[in-house]
Structure 1
Amino acid sequence: MQLIIKNLNKQYGNGVHALNNVDLTIDKGMFGLLGPNGAGKSSLMRTLATLQNADSGTATLGDIDVLNNKDEVRKVLGYLPQEFGVYPRTSATDLLHHLAILKGFDKSNERKEMVNYLLQKVNLFEHRKKAVSSYSGGMRQRFGIAQCLIGSPKLVIVDEPTAGLDPGERNRFYNILSEIGEQTIVILSTHIVQDVRELCTNMAIMDKGKVLYSGTTDEALLQIKDRVYEKSVNKDELPQYQSEFKVISNKLVGGKPQIHVYSETPLNSGFTQAEETLEDVFFAKLNELV
């Protein structure tokens, strides 16, 4: 099954063109959607999750018209938004039962078996009687994945899922997402490059509503292979380097700025060749250097 998006457009009343002729083909597995805040990622996710209408274009999931057959999409969709609310004092078990009923699971025995399985899958079974509102951030995100998986969806969308998680919870979340991606289409929308590099084979980079790159992570790295150089500079030298070179990014290392520069020819003058990273690709695309 594929998710095929063609010429998708969405413009809001304030004039922001959130989606600008978006074309993507997404196969089963983990697909990373990278972009800064305001890139259009959440607009795309909300459109695919049937929460808002597009102005024009098409999106099909297998033989389902995503934009015009929303009820059919919702039957096979799992969605974890960036923030989601829960009922106060409602336990994880009760809330999953409630959500399963809303999805059409009327048989109590079948529903109970599924709820227990999902809670075990996300390692929350021993906390099943606690109110979800009392969960830590990581536990709540794992509960979010559990509710995503009700009914074995064919498309799972997760929007900025690891923001605020500690390293341990983040790793547990990665492992769960990887398992899901073996069976279904999983779209991971994030601005954290490491998430995409560690989890996804295929990816896209968006900015200002447009797709700047779509392909594999390895192909993305090949675009800048052997063309990234780094150098530590003084803070007052940054403007000069930015005017003379194609500076991809700069960050503090040991309290001193370290710049990454894109160059198709070898650089001397204290530059050393750096191992290209997906973060370099990301910033090079945003800065229109490649």
Structure 2
Amino acid sequence: MTTLPHLSDRLFITDGGMETTLVFHQGIDLPDFASFDLLRRPGGRQIIEDYFRTYLALAVKNQVGFILESPTWRANPDWGTRLGYSSETLAAANREAIALLQTLRQQYESATTPIVISGCFGPRGDGYSSAIAMTEAEAEHYHRPQMETFQQAGVDMVAALTMTYVQEAIGITRAAQAVGLPVVISFTVETDSRLPSGTTLKDAIAEVDAATDNGPAYYMINCAHPTHFANAFAVDQAWMQRIRGLRANASAKSHAELDESTELDAGNPAELGQQYRELRAQFPHITILGGCCGTDDRHIEAICQACLPLAWAHLSQPALIL
């Protein structure tokens, strides 16, 4: 039985910004930033495997856990239709993505590097905007087919990345509950620490938890720079314990600025690693560390170098005898 990240004190890492790495570093054409579409192209499966092997090697080297997040952020009906997929071929692509990860896990998993397979959901609309929003019921119905496909494919958990408003997060959580899968909700925020919908992180988490009986296994923040959510993290409050993971952008630019950029802003890997270290020092319960737009293996390695000494020191502390 796979130990899920939130049920362990072990540090888990993830990959970085898959789409930005493939597009800007490898020159691969990804219409609509849809990595899963590579699975139907000649040599595409190998591209995805090679990408993940770089990060898996880092996890093995540093003796940390790894979350294999499927390249299916765009593999939902709206984006699939834009790319010419039917419901049947879209489901097949989601299954193939999970099968690829299962093969990689067999090759890399060990006692010191546990590997978790996560089925990745993306938003129905734009990951930077909440302009087109669904009701909770609509979101549950919309995402249910992909959820069922992941459940049948044998994922350990699912994660909804770059959620921009509460109702879609609630719908995905309810869909996961209906099929019996642990679910992670990852919100994105603007430079003011609020979701694109204007909701604060604290309120967003409270609303999802209230509507789903604390349904998500944990929450994450992704597709935002640490400076963007620093204000929300300024005071250690009870709701912060629900956030267990970070997948930050390399760049401190706003979403609007990134949308208009024609060149990649890779930021400073060492600086990002130090920012993660400072956050971990304040919130040691945050044990899932990875990257999003603009990050690559250099950033994840810097995060490991900065955070592992802190993690080992924490784990080596003797337990209190009461």
Class of the TM-score when normalised by the shorter of the 2 chains: 0.3 to 0.5
Higher helix residue share: 2
Higher strand residue share: 1
TM-score after normalising by structure 1 = 0.33
TM-score after normalising by structure 2 = 0.30
Give the number of the structure with larger relative contact order, counting CA–CA contacts within 8 Å between residues 6 or more apart. Answer: 1
